[in-house]
Structure 1
Amino acid sequence: MSTVTRTAATPAAAHEVTADRVPAPRGRRSHTRRRHGFGFWAVALAFLSVMAFATVPAPLYVIYQARDGFPTFTTTVVFAAYGVGVVGSLYLAGHLSDVHGRRPLILVSVALELVAAVLFLLWNDVSGLIVARLVTGLGVGLLTATATAHLGELRVRATGTASSAAGAGVVAGAVNLGGLSLGALVGGALAEFVGQPLMVPYVVFVVALVVAFVVVLAAPETVDRPASPVPYRPQRLQAPDGKAGAFWAAGTAAFAALAVQGLFTSVAPTFLATTFHVTDRLAAGATTFGVFAASAVSQIVFARLSQRTQIRLGMVLLVGGLVVLAVAAIVLQVAGFIGGGVVAGAGVGLLFRASIGSAGALVGPERRGGVLAATFLIAYAGLTVPVVAVGAALLVLPTLPVLLGYVVFVAVLAVVAGSRLAARA
């Protein structure tokens, strides 16, 4: 965890100092707020574009698999490369926006996604897929904590009220998971209805990412760099002093939440094809879209509930949805499989948002990027490690027992972690 202390005041305090010492003309204050308001939506667009690009390949894995004849385990290796990129980036650089600023890291993230898109277009055998997914993960790891912190700070400065940070948290969570849902749907739809399914989706996102890069250039910075150089060190998985229980409860709950999402961004399309004989590309993309869209929508619909109520509701929806999904897999009801995933996705959204919000509230703005990076590091381990275990298990076990074991593991973890998080809310 970064222990850097910024020389700048917090947004609210900075505004008060300015007002006390040199009152800014009303027109200038209005212009500054509009600029920060524009920056808020520019960063949200970049966040949405990068997260959407991250799931574009999800409905395309079946096409790659059919073309090259590789087993399901290879799909999980490709997906694991993405997770390794995310976790590695969060560990090495996810906290650096506290020192070097939010905007530079967001721009680097978008640039990395552009590199990944070009790799998908020019080098699309298995080795190329692994490298492209690794680069994609590096960009996502740079972005998640940085953009989450930046959105909150921009919103406070645009409105002049510290309470608006809560609304920014809703937007950040919805954009994060909503982008993941959008990418899968766009990838599946383009693959189904447009020629060259392994090219067109990436070309579309090259355009989207270029636009995102340009608009972020106009977004204001919210972090002042320290006056003296700060020694570099990787992100530490260390709780803030005196707050270890709250930090690890938040991290573990986020791990469980993203373990559900990992299932639907990696091997769920293969489950649909092998267990339910659903090979339609749009159906595969729509399934992933439904799960992630439910995650995004639930955060907005239930935003007014208390955090404790959101956590408890999230646990009920997540576990209930997984139970429905498991029963549907046993009785071969594809509608129940998809529906259960959507219900579980709604629970994921509530649990994930509560986890990130709880972690971010443990420290002040000068250390928030580092704490959020540590929490996202734990969360994305949940997106990767269990899925790789599923891929390995599928080498020696039938599909159904592996799926049921995964469901039981995630459900138990979500209940234990969510209960501890709710107790501290």
Structure 2
Amino acid sequence: MKPSPFGTQARLGVFGALLFTFMAASSAPTPLYASYQQAWGFSTFWLTWVFAIYAFGLLAALLVGGRLSDHLGRRSVVLGAVLMESGSLLLFHQAHGLNDLIAARAVQGVATGLATSALGAALLDSDQQRGPWLNSLAPLLGMAAGAAGCGLLVTYAPLPLQLTYQVFLGLFLVLALCLLGVPDLLPRQSGTLAALRPRLSVPPQARAMLWRVLPLELAVWATGGFYLSLMPALAKAVTGTTSVLLGAVAVAGLTLSGAACLHRLRHWPAERLLRLGSLALTTGQILLGLAVLGGQLTLLMVGTVVTGIGFGSGFLGATRSLLPLAEPGQRAGLLAAFYVLSYLAFCVPALLVSVLVPRLGLVGAAQLYLAGVLGLALLSGWKLRAPPCAQAC
């Protein structure tokens, strides 16, 4: 039975709020990394591993459980993910060393991976027009809110290493209660055990489009990895400030400008969004590189905003081009494949560059990272010059 308009609105609200909160929780530890590093004395290399272990946990969840919601239903998988996320927040809250932090991030990654695939598919089930838009907007707003909110708590609130996680535990409790009242649109299907076999599921009709948008999507997510792993320390090194809030502002600047662009341009056709994303990311990497070389805070923020425009428009253009090509029973699998490729770009470059930090220094390693993203953005511009049908044929 087709849901009523009010039912559709309610479903979009609950699923969008959950996706927002999962992504906010994922970026909340970023402003705390410097505090953890100072308290427990680990190196930048291990700091990057703390960031990357989240992405590896998320990848594992997508590979093994990305299609679970096609068989068990969206709500059941999301509720399970909420329970796991709550467990990770308790681990963060009680953390006393690097091993505790790694364990908490690993559990959080698995929970976010399960939730991302199921919630993305649920949003598409509910509304094929607004679903892709919310799939793009909610994560960006969530990451901005998580980083900026936590940065403010670290700077101005008592018990910053605990209060952030207490707030998120309360939010997930409220959202879980709301989710219990939302019925599944997709009935349960057989084949649950088979769905646990790691398999990237890209429907044949979506493969040509995936290949076409892949360079831009990799550039978008590599940019996100750069900001969430290296930018807090880089901003301090470039500007000479000791404020934890500056790194949080940089992360929020990227994601907020991306979200604003995404909302403002949500009615643009996918092809136009892709071209804007490629151009803005190319320009943004050049500005960021100049800011790092010159140690200019203003140019760093301008480059962040321009990069954020490419981040938002590229992400929306890719999801709008790709996700509607899947049938209802293929959506979670396609989302899993899409996010596996995205999160590899999110974490692997940061890990590789972190190995070079002792040799090149943080600024030199950051310049190498930015050059790599610039290369991907230029490649995407070249691929987008050909019409979609020319690449699909």
Q: Tell me the TM-score range normalised by the shorter chain.
A: over 0.9
- Are 2:256 and 1:293 equivalent residues in the alignment? yes
- Are 2:79 and 1:107 equivalent residues in the alignment? yes
Aligned equivalents of 2:304, 2:344: Cα separation in 1: 20
Aligned equivalents of 1:298, 1:110: Cα separation in 2: 29
Measured on the aligned residues, the alpha-carbon RMSD in Å equals 1.8
Specify the alignment match of 2:275 in structure 1. 312
Specify the alignment match of 1:330 in structure 2. 293
Aligned equivalents of 1:75, 1:280: Cα separation in 2: 18
1:366 aligned to 329, 334, 354, which one? 329
2:143 aligned to 180, 188, 203, which one? 180
Note the C-alpha offset of 1:243.
Answer: 4.5
Q: Is the Cα contact below 8 Å between 1:152 and 1:168 reproduced in 2?
A: yes
Q: What letter is aligned with 2:216?
A: A
1:68 aligned to 33, 40, 44, which one? 40
Secondary structure of the corresponding residue to residue 359 of structure 2? coil
The structure with more radius of gyration: 1
Measured against aligned partners, the alpha-carbon deviations of 1:82-130 in whole angstroms (never above 9, x if no partner) come to 1111111111101211111111111122222111110001124111111
- Are 2:220 and 1:257 equivalent residues in the alignment? yes
2:343 aligned to 380, 392, 405, which one? 380
Q: Is the Cα contact below 8 Å between 1:315 and 1:351 reproduced in 2?
A: yes
Specify the alignment match of 2:354 in structure 1. 391
Aligned equivalents of 2:71, 2:249: Cα separation in 1: 40
1:216 aligned to 179, 200, 204, which one? 179
Structure 1 unaligned segments of length 5 or more: list them. 1-13, 16-28, 156-164
Measured against aligned partners, the alpha-carbon deviations of 1:175-217 in whole angstroms (never above 9, x if no partner) come to 0111011100011000000111111111111111111111111
Q: What letter is aligned with 2:111?
A: G
Aligned equivalents of 1:237, 1:390: Cα separation in 2: 27
Aligned equivalents of 1:267, 1:249: Cα separation in 2: 29
Secondary structure of the corresponding residue to residue 358 of structure 2? coil
Q: What letter is aligned with 1:183?
A: G
1:17-416 equivalences in 2 (<5 Å):
32-155=4-127, 165-226=128-189, 231-241=194-204, 243-416=206-379
Q: Is the Cα contact below 8 Å between 1:235 and 1:374 reproduced in 2?
A: no
Aligned equivalents of 1:130, 1:333: Cα separation in 2: 33
Measured against aligned partners, the alpha-carbon deviations of 1:209-268 in whole angstroms (never above 9, x if no partner) come to 111111111112021112676633434235422653322333443222110011111111
Residue correspondences, number: 388
Q: TM-score, normalised by structure 1?
A: 0.87
Q: Is the Cα contact below 8 Å between 1:44 and 1:175 reproduced in 2?
A: yes
Q: What letter is aligned with 1:202?
A: Y
Secondary structure of the corresponding residue to residue 376 of structure 2? helix
Aligned equivalents of 1:341, 1:151: Cα separation in 2: 29
Change (3 A) 1:284 1:400: closer
Measured against aligned partners, the alpha-carbon deviations of 1:325-358 in whole angstroms (never above 9, x if no partner) come to 1101111101211221221011011111222222
Q: Percent of aligned positions with the same letter in both sequences?
A: 27
Aligned equivalents of 1:402, 1:328: Cα separation in 2: 14
Q: Is the Cα contact below 8 Å between 2:72 and 2:192 reproduced in 1?
A: no
Note the C-alpha offset of 1:75.
Answer: 0.7
Q: Is the Cα contact below 8 Å between 1:328 and 1:337 reproduced in 2?
A: yes
Query: Which has the larger helix fraction?
Result: 2
Moved over 4 A (4+): 227-230
